Amino acid sequence: MNKKLRKLLIIIAAVVPVLVFALMLWLASFVMTGKRQTLDEAMQWQSEHYDTSFYEKLEKTNYTVKSFDGYELHVQFLKNPTPTDKYMIISHGYTDNRMGALKYVPMYLELGYNCIIYDLRGHGENESTFTTYSIREGEDIAELVKDTRSRYSDISQLGLHGESLGAASTVASMKYKPDVDFAVADCGFSDIDNVLRGAYKYYHMPEFFVDMADLGARIRYGYSLKSMRPIDSLDDNEVPILFIHGAEDSFILPKNSENMAARTKGRSEVHFIEGAGHAESVIIDPENYKTYVKDFLDSL
């Protein structure tokens, strides 16, 4: 072997591990720190897809809640124009913010609830940080429930509603036995691993990138993607959960809701909205959506 070839092989042997390591860290960052929308951007999207004029007319109260580790969550209370002692905490999806929760507010106002919307960790007005796909976010919800119980002394009923990451976090919060009467989980994932593998297949990228991202997440953030499994919080859960999923959701497959409904110890229902893709159900078919929720609540 001549000296030039030997030198080239040495350089390759030295550079390749560095590139692989850098790719692992980049993949982890790509998965866990996607670009977040501003409040204005999110509100613009909402206003382009349904009538948001109700929002300006509502009496609002802004405040912050310190979570289990001191992290501050920005929260907004939306008072029902008709006095009520029922409350709903609504969690939005990944890269969105509390404005993304507004699509569910008219339904809950009509059903007689005050609404509490907030920015998930790392989103909206909160301090920038990475997403743990339900691990820290689920514990945040448990802390929000405690704060809501102490802040509003007239509560007769308290529920949770989540969309996508918010739904997964709502399910994950069951691990902490939140003092709630029910939960509604719309298009949540049972585990983030199956979502990522499906997405990588869709974009014709090698699946081993998911394993690389997992290793990078462990190194860079101290969390494993494979441990982000809301479904594991349901084995001894007794809070009734209504699962709703768009039948045409190709991002988080409907089987995620089916699997979680089958896993929970307590009561559960699953309904699919025909023609709805990811996080579109309440916009595509608001009447059936409201019927499913109302019937579920009436049956409790």
Q: What is the 3-state secondary structure (H, E, C) of the chain?
A: CCHHHHHHHHHHHHHHHHHHHHHHHHHHHHHHCCCCCCHHHHHHHHHHHCCCHHHHHCEEEEEEEECCCCCEEEEEEEECCCCCCEEEEEECCCCCCHHHHHHHHHHHHHCCCEEEEECCCCCCCCCCCCCCCCHHHHHHHHHHHHHHHHHCCCCCEEEEEEECHHHHHHHHHHHHCCCCCEEEEECCCCCHHHHHHHHHHHCCCCCHHHHHHHHHHHHHCCCCHHHCCHHHHCCCCCCCEEEEEECCCCCCCCHHHHHHHHHCCCCEEEEEECCCCCCCHHHHCHHHHHHHHHHHHHCC
CA-only gyration radius of the chain, Å: 21
pLDDT at 97 over 90: yes
Q: Quick one: pLDDT at residue 3?
A: 76
Provide the pLDDT for residue 1. 61
Q: What is the mean pLDDT of the chain?
A: 95
Q: What is the mean pLDDT of residues 228-234?
A: 98
For residue 203, the model assigns a pLDDT of 67
Return the pLDDT at 17: 78
- Render pLDDT for 169-212 as a digit per residue (tens, 0 to 9): 999 999 999 999 999 999 999 999 999 999 888 767 788 999 99
Per-residue pLDDT, 28: 95
- Quick: pLDDT tens for 6-32: 766 666 666 677 888 899 999 999 999
Give the pLDDT confidence score for residue 14 in this predicted structure.
Answer: 66
Fold for 36-191+228-298, please state it: Rossmann fold (3.40.50)
Q: Is the pLDDT of residue 59 over 80?
A: yes
Q: How far is the C-alpha of 62 from the C-alpha of 60, rounded, in Å? A: 7
For the chain, the structural domain boundaries read: 1-32+206-226, 36-191+228-298
Q: What is the pLDDT of residue 10?
A: 67
Residues 19 and 3: their CA atoms lie apart, in Å, by 24
Q: What is the pLDDT of residues 259-268, one digit of tens each?
A: 999 999 999 9
Per-residue pLDDT reduced to its tens digit, 68-79: 999 999 999 999
**Percentage of the residues of the chain whose pLDDT score is greater than 70:** 96
pLDDT of amino acid 89: 99
**For residues 278 and 253, is the Cβ–Cβ distance under 8 A?**
no
Percent of the chain with pLDDT over 90: 90
- pLDDT score at 184: 98
